[in-house]
Structure 1
Amino acid sequence: MNKKLDRRKKYTRKVLKESFIKLLAEKSISSITVKEICEMADINRSTFYTHYSDHYDLLDKIEEEITKDLSQYLNSYTFTIDEESLQMTQKLLEYITRNKFMFQTLLNKNGDPTFEQKLMEIAQSFMMKNWKTFNQVEEEQSRYLSTFVVSGAINVIKEWIEGDMGQTPKEMAVMINHFANYGVSYLDNK
């Protein structure tokens, strides 16, 4: 009996999340109602409220799930020093590709700006913990450098997502890493 209830809970949460994301792709969170989410999901409002306090809570839970999953995904890989930044960037882009619609929606103008900040924190934490380069400079410089690299990379990734991911994750990883390592001189060496 418990397995059946667990499956039902998972299904309910899944359709509520999917319905919410579809609505968020079309309009801002402030103009979405619980009623709309429930109608799209074909779920009663009382059932919605047994899982979430409101649609902002639902968004929070979706973002928590993604950031936790992304952290686990990135931490499941180990790289040699020579390949670490390229490989980590590629793995991140592969993850985004597999969850394309979710990232397109959460990083678009209707999404929650704090989600982008959460992604930055995950990437910065991973970089500062795992990359030898960041352990060789002062803590303050390391923090500024990681902020510079990660914010630039996230904005490039957003452009890539908006451009319907015309390049492969590997091509984008190479480009982002060249930008991070060589900046404007990358274009001179092309």
Structure 2
Amino acid sequence: MVGIKGNRRVVYTKKAIKDSILTLLEEKEIHQITVTDICKRADVNRGTFYAHYKDPHDLLQTMEDELFHKIVKYIDETPVNEYSDSLLLNVLELISENRALCKILFCRQRDNKLLDKLIVIASKADLEQISEEFSKSYSHYYMRYIVCGCIAIVQTWLENDLPESPSEIVKIINSVSTINYNDLTQAEITLK
């Protein structure tokens, strides 16, 4: 039935439109892409595009929001003591499954607010329990440091076309984070 959420034709059309913009973003910046470009590549008419999205920016924003909603859902579903393993693995598997979009978001889009969004997402996590021994006065530095470090590792992973598995990247991130957490904790003690 037309118009019902989950209709196979609608799902297929949205997927074709999303695939189209991802392909175009490999060649151009978002501000250079037109609705006509997307429609030609997706083999849909403009009316179909406008039934779902306002413009290419809205389409990309929708795709980014869907990805981040999944990450927030993982945070909500994962116990705090499993963040560094289960949560990180789920997020990296999600990135792997959405490789083309994540390459665009993490590596190619200069004007997006990815870091800010990830910091907001990280702040939804119960960081007080993660770093109980780290004082509140320094925890925001630690969080920003870890998020930026994780982004750099994920960017490198994506730029190299994901040669390691998500579980190998979890090990890399956790080993780097542990080393740096210990260094930061020692630095905090020294500053006091």
TM-score by length of 1: 0.82
d(CA) in 2 for partners of 1:131, 1:175: 23
User: Would you say 1:101 and 2:100 are equivalent positions?
Assistant: yes
User: Would you say 1:181 and 2:178 are equivalent positions?
Assistant: yes
Structure 2 alignment gaps of length 5 or more: 184-192
Identical residues among aligned pairs (%): 31
d(CA) in 2 for partners of 1:131, 1:157: 24
d(CA) in 2 for partners of 1:38, 1:94: 30
Taking a change above 3 Å as real, the CA distance of residues 162 and 181 of structure 1, as seen in their structure-2 partners, is: same
The CA deviation at 1:147 is: 0.8
The 5-angstrom pairing of residues 69-108 of structure 1 reads 69-78=70-79, 81=81, 84-108=83-107
Amino acid at match of 2:44: I
Contact between 2:85 and 2:170, CA under 8 Å: does it hold in 1? Answer: yes
Equivalent residues, number: 182
d(CA) in 2 for partners of 1:159, 1:5: 37
Taking a change above 3 Å as real, the CA distance of residues 31 and 157 of structure 1, as seen in their structure-2 partners, is: same
Runs of 4+ residues deviating >4 angstroms = 2-6
Between stretches 163-172 and 26-35, larger displacement belongs to 163-172
SS at match of 1:170: helix
Asked which structure has the greater RCO (Cα within 8 Å, sep 6+), the reply is 1
Between stretches 35-44 and 68-77, larger displacement belongs to 68-77
**Aligned-pair Cα RMSD in Å:** 2.6
- Provide, for residues 147-190 of structure 1, a one-character-per-residue CA deviation record: whole Å limited to 9, x for no partner: 1111111111110111122222222111111111113999xxxx
SS at match of 2:108: coil
d(CA) in 1 for partners of 2:34, 2:139: 43
- Provide, for residues 14-60 of structure 1, a one-character-per-residue CA deviation record: whole Å limited to 9, x for no partner: 21111111111221111111100010111111221222111111111
d(CA) in 1 for partners of 2:74, 2:99: 16
d(CA) in 1 for partners of 2:79, 2:157: 26
1:28 aligned residue: 29
Amino acid at match of 1:163: N
The CA deviation at 1:5 is: 7.5
Taking a change above 3 Å as real, the CA distance of residues 26 and 154 of structure 1, as seen in their structure-2 partners, is: same
Taking a change above 3 Å as real, the CA distance of residues 84 and 131 of structure 1, as seen in their structure-2 partners, is: farther
The CA deviation at 1:4 is: 6.3
Taking a change above 3 Å as real, the CA distance of residues 2 and 36 of structure 1, as seen in their structure-2 partners, is: closer
Contact between 2:78 and 2:86, CA under 8 Å: does it hold in 1? Answer: no
Amino acid at match of 1:67: F
Structure 1 alignment gaps of length 5 or more: none
Taking a change above 3 Å as real, the CA distance of residues 18 and 112 of structure 1, as seen in their structure-2 partners, is: farther
